């Protein structure tokens, strides 16, 4: 990674050498200052280029290279320190520069010996790793974590696992509660916090905000609320007053401040079909102080089916079709019409006798 760095040898001229070199001095120029060399000048020679020994320094700190060791990058030479500062990656674990092999993983660089499984400390450089909730794990530890973490929540903010029961839900996602503050009192939240209208509140603030109270258990209703009988209810607490099964959104009947399922309402309040004896489901035909299923309504005498539009006669408070009534014996019809006349006369007499209605009549 780092450009290859080799020792340069400081060349101390001895006489013979100098003599040998002397004749070529006019052609030598320092690679840095481009000046020529005096006879007594020390010359540094490195890979075919020459410097005054004072010019052979780090491009960053202008100091001689300690122990003659330098690092070259894009034609410039740096001492080890400055080269690292400028160009070498830092290890995500020990914060030291990385020289040599660099492991790039989890958005950071690592010494091979520093990049280890967070759980078992095994080196991962050569065996590979798996990401698990923001951690690098070896294959074995990842499997183990996955099994143990099934059903546990991961915080959508810090991506770490959340201890059992320590999560809160916010806009459908799970979080550590301590990432948030109460919208109203600004206190750091705990698992007791509540979401109302897309904002999070501590329990104290939440309970002072006019949350509906369940008519059955007298506790606040925080999720779906049912409003019926002039009260609020937890969905699962709004039940038939007879069988105590929750309606869960199914049709219910209200009577005398109580709620009933269809079957128990009819059982309780007498929408029992006069003919079949069962509760009249759906539409009910009511007449003569009785109820009928639509399909059951008919003449009580010949059993002919009738509907709401069929003309019928009352006989002993039972419906008689026209044919059956017409075929009543003459003497019976006479008695019926006489008793009807009597009933009318009686009613009008009683009405005129009752003091409250006297003026109105």
Partner 1 sequence: MGKEKKNEPIAEVDYVDRNVVNIKSVPHVWDNQALTRLSLAHNKLTEIPPDIADLVNLEILSLWNNQITELPTSISTMSRLKILNIGMNRLSVLPRGFGSFPSLEILDLTYNNLSEKSLPGNFFFISTLRALYLGDNDFEMLPGDVRNLTNLQILVLRDNDLLMMPRELGDLQKLRELHLQGNRLTTLPPEFGALDLVSTKSVLRLQHNPWVPAIQEQLDARGCQGVWEYIRSENYKYFYGRQEVSNTPVPPKRNKDRKISRQTAKTTC
Least CB distance to partner 1 at residue 327 (A): 6
- The per-type count for the chain, helices as H runs and strands as E runs, is 7, 22
Q: For residue 303, state whether it binds partner 1 (rule: CB under 8 A).
A: yes
One of 142, 300, 319, 325 touching partner 1 (CB under 8 A):
300
Segment 315 to 354, residues that bind partner 1, using CB under 8 A: 316-318, 323-324, 327-329, 331-332, 335, 339, 342-343, 346, 349-350, 353
Residue placing its CB nearer to partner 1 in the complex, 73 or 328: 328
Instruction: Kindly tell me which of 37 and 274 has the beta carbon lying closer to partner 1.
Output: 274
Closest separation in Å from C-beta 197 to partner 1: 49
Among 34, 289, 308, 359, binds partner 1 (CB under 8 A): 289
Nearer to partner 1, 97 or 325 (CB): 325
Decide whether 253 or 328 has the Cβ nearer to partner 1: 328
Judged by CB under 8 A, the stretch of 30-38, 62-70, 92-100, 314-322 that binds partner 1 is: 314-322
Residues that contact partner 1, how many (by CB under 8 A): 29
Cβ at position 185, least distance to partner 1 in Å: 58
Least gap, CB of 361 to partner 1 (angstroms):
16
162 Rama sector, left if φ>0, alpha if ψ -120 to 50, beta otherwise = beta
Instruction: Please tell me the distance from the alpha carbon of residue 261 to that of residue 241, in angstroms, as a whole number.
Output: 8
What is the 8-class DSSP label of residue 327? T
What is the nearest approach in angstroms of partner 1 to the Cβ of residue 328? 8
CA Rg value for the chain: 50
**Helix, strand, or coil (residue 109):** strand
- Closest contact distance (angstroms) between CB of 331 and partner 1 is 4
| DSSP β-bridge partners for residue 279 | 272
Query: Residue 199 contacts by C-beta under 8 Å, 6 or more apart in sequence?
Result: 183
**β-pairing verdict for 225-228 and 231-234:** antiparallel
Q: Which is nearer to partner 1, 204 or 327 (CB)?
A: 327
Whose Cβ is closer to partner 1: residue 129's or residue 312's?
312
Residue 315 near residue 332 (C-beta atoms within 8 A): no
Return d(Cα 294, Cα 74) in angstroms, integer: 98
Count the Cβ atoms, other than its own, within 10 Å of residue 29: 16
Q: How far is the CB of 173 from partner 1 (least distance, A)?
A: 58
SS3 83: helix
Find, among 52, 50, 57, the residue nearest to 41 by Cα. 52
Q: How far is the CB of 261 from partner 1 (least distance, A)?
A: 22
Please, which of residues 261-280 interact with partner 1 by CB under 8 A? 270, 274-277
Half-sphere exposure of 359 (CA within 13 A, CB side): 1
3-state secondary structure of 130: strand
Characterize the bridge pairing of strands 135-137 and 130-132: antiparallel
Instruction: Identify which of residues 75 and 329 has a Cβ nearer to partner 1 in the complex.
Output: 329
CB 336, min distance to partner 1, A: 10
Residue closer to partner 1, measured from CB, 101 or 341: 341
44 vs 324, which CB is nearer to partner 1?
324
Give the interface with partner 1 as residue ranges (CB under 8 A). 270, 274-277, 289, 300-304, 316-318, 323-324, 327-329, 331-332, 335, 339, 342-343, 346, 349-350, 353
């Amino acid at each position: 990674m780092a450009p290859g760095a080799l020792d340069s040898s400081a060349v101390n001229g001895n006489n013979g050498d100098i003599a040998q070199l002397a004749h070529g001095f006019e052609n030598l120029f320092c690679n840095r200052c481009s000046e020529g060399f005096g006879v007594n000048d020390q010359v540094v020679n490195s890979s075919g280029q020459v410097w005054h020994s004072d010019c052979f320094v780090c491009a960053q700190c202008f100091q001689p290279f300690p122990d003659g060791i330098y690092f070259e990058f894009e034609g410039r030479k740096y001492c080890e320190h400055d080269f690292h500062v400028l160009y070498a990656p830092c290890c995500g674990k020990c914060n030291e520069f990385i020289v040599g092999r660099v492991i790039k993983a989890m958005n950071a660089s690592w010494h091979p010996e520093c990049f280890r499984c967070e759980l078992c400390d095994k080196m991962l450089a050569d065996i590979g790793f798996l990401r698990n909730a923001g951690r690098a794990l070896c294959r074995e530890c990842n499997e183990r974590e996955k099994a143990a973490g099934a059903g546990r929540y991961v915080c959508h903010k810090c991506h770490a696992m959340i201890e059992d029961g320590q999560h809160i839900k916010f806009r459908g996602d799970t979080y550590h509660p301590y990432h948030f503050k109460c919208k109203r009192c600004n206190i750091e939240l705990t698992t007791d916090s509540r979401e109302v209208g897309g904002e999070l509140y501590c329990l104290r603030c939440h309970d002072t905000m006019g949350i509906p109270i369940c008519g059955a258990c007298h506790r606040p209703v925080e999720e779906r609320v049912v409003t019926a009988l002039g009260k609020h209810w937890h969905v699962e607490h709004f039940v038939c007053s007879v069988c105590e099964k929750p309606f869960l959104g199914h049709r219910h009947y209200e009577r005398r401040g109580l709620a009933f399922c269809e079957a128990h309402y009819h059982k309780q309040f007498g929408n029992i079909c006069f003919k079949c004896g069962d509760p009249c489901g759906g539409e009910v035909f009511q007449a003569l102080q009785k109820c009928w299923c639509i399909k059951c309504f008919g003449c009580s005498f010949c059993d002919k089916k009738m509907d709401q539009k069929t003309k019928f006669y009352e006989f002993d408070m039972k419906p008689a079709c026209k044919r059956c009534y017409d075929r009543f014996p003459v003497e019976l019809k006479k008695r019926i019409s006489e008793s009807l006349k009597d009933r009318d006369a009686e009613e009008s007499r009683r009405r005129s006798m009752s003091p409250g209605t006297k003026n109105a009549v």
